[in-house]
Amino acid sequence: MDQIKSILTGFAACLYPPRCPVCGEILYPADQRICPECVKKLPVITGPRCVRCSKPVEKEEAEYCYDCARRSFLCERGFALWRYDRVTAESIAAFKFRGRKEYAAFYAQEAVRLAGGFLRRYRPDYLVPVPLHRRRLAARGYNQAALLAERIERLTGIPEIPLLVRIRNTRPQKELNDKGRCQNVDAAFALSQAEWRRLPGIPKTVLLIDDIYTTGSTVEACAAVLKTAGIEHVMFLTLCIGRGF
């Protein structure tokens, strides 16, 4: 059986060889996850960042970004690896819409490397992927946030649990402005009762996993559901984030 499985895996690797998450070329040797040259093109956030959402801020002394200084959020803390730019936008679009599921392995490896301090500090009990509506899931075949969360679980041992469901099939957030984004995701999520019942108790801290953070309206809508259920701390981890000034 194992032999058949490994033959099938090898066959799949020939048909769908893993590709670089930046240039999209076939990786050689195939056990690499990114080209050595392409890794340098990723805009890792290194300078001063907002203490709440981790967006890059212009000045070292600025504690919060423009958004976080002006309103309060249910999600207390968050971490993003990269700025949202041409390179990351293209990579994530291929991951989400063009079947490049293998990128999850590289993304998770980088998430654990760059957000290691954040994870050790806040010690989430569970990783909760931002869900897709079942119709969109059926059309796409996979939820990219769940793939990412599963890979992070493998590397950290923090269990991934699909604690949320999307009950409204909302329009893609990228098509909307700030106000529209909030209204769009309002009441879009609910607790998965089946998953909730399986928990040994109410978790203290959960970490939402998603690909992109823009205005934060998606993670806020998720946090509202989780906090109403009694979870004390809700945080987020995303691959990309916009600028904070």
Q: Which residues bind Zn ion (CB under 5 A)?
A: 20, 22-23, 35, 38, 50, 52-53, 55, 65, 68
Judged by beta carbon, residue 90 or residue 150, the one nearer Zn ion is: 90
Minimum CB separation from Zn ion for residue 241, in Å? 9
Rounded to the nearest 5°, which phi and psi values hold at 60?
A: -50, -40
Judged by beta carbon, residue 129 or residue 244, the one nearer Zn ion is: 244
Minimum CB separation from Zn ion for residue 25, in Å? 5
Judged by beta carbon, residue 35 or residue 114, the one nearer Zn ion is: 35
Minimum CB separation from Zn ion for residue 24, in Å? 7
Minimum CB separation from Zn ion for residue 151, in Å? 19
Judged by beta carbon, residue 22 or residue 237, the one nearer Zn ion is: 22
DSSP the chain: -HHHHHHHHHHHHHHS--B-TTT-PBPSSTT-SS-TTGGGGS-B--S-B-TTT--B-SSTT--S-HHHHHS--SS-EEEEEEE--HHHHHHHHHHHHS--TTHHHHHHHHHHHHSHHHHHHH--SEEEEPPPBHHHHHHHSS-HHHHHHHHHHHHH-PPB---EEE-S-PPPGGGS-HHHHHHHHTT-EEE-HHHHHHSSS--SEEEEEEEEESSSHHHHHHHHHHHHTT-SEEEEEEEEE----
**Cβ–Cβ under 8 Å, residues 148 and 129:** yes
Judged by beta carbon, residue 52 or residue 166, the one nearer Zn ion is: 52
Judged by beta carbon, residue 50 or residue 188, the one nearer Zn ion is: 50
Judged by beta carbon, residue 126 or residue 236, the one nearer Zn ion is: 236
Peptide bond into 131 cis (omega under 30): no
Minimum CB separation from Zn ion for residue 197, in Å? 35
Minimum CB separation from Zn ion for residue 52, in Å? 5
The alpha carbon dihedral of 215, 217, 222, 225 has a sign of: positive
Minimum CB separation from Zn ion for residue 208, in Å? 15
